[in-house]
Amino acid sequence: MSAHQYDHGHTVAGWVGTGIASVGAAVAGVGVCFVSGVLIAGGLAIGVVALLVTWALHLAGWGKGPAVRPRAEWGWRVRDSGARAGHDECLGCRLAGRRRAAGSSRTAEVAEGVSVGGVLGVGGEPEAVAVAADSGR
C-alpha cells in the first residue's frame, strides 16, 4: 500500500525519466553559462534519452496510463498489469502500436453512433450526414 493520498503517477518510469531529464537540464544549463554549443546539444540529447527511456519503461509496465489506477497499484514499485494491452487514450501506447480491443475502449461506444439521414448542400449534391452520439461528455 502506498503512503500517497492521490494517484499522481509515482512510478519507476516517472522517477527514472525525471532523474535523467534533470541531468540533461543541468548539462544544458552549464552549456548556457559557459556559452558552449557542445554542452547545450549534449544536454538536449540527454533529454531525448530520458524521453526514450521513460517510454520504454512505460511499455514494459513500469509506468501508468492516463487514468487513475486501482488503489492497490498506487505504489511506485508496482508493475502495471494492463501495459501489454495498451492504455486507453495513451499517446505512448498508440505510438508503439498498442491498442485495446475494440470492445474494451470508450472509442467503440462513440464509433457506433447514430446515423441521421439528411441533405447537405455541398456543391449542389446531396450527402448523407452521420452524427455520432457522444453522451459521455
Convert the pLDDT of each residue in 54-75 to its tens digit. Answer: 999 988 888 887 777 777 777 7
Three cell numbers, residue 93 = 501506447
Output DSSP code: residue 6.
S
Please give the pLDDT value at position 32: 97
Please give the pLDDT value at position 51: 96
* 11, pLDDT greater than 60: yes
For the stretch 31-59, pLDDT in tens is 999 999 999 999 999 999 999 999 999 88
Residue 112 phi/psi, 5-degree rounding, is: -60, -50
Instruction: Please state the pTM of the whole predicted model.
Output: 0.64
| End-to-end CA gap in the chain | 33
**Dihedral, CA of residue 19, residue 21, residue 23 and residue 25, to nearest 10:** -140
Please give the pLDDT value at position 137: 39
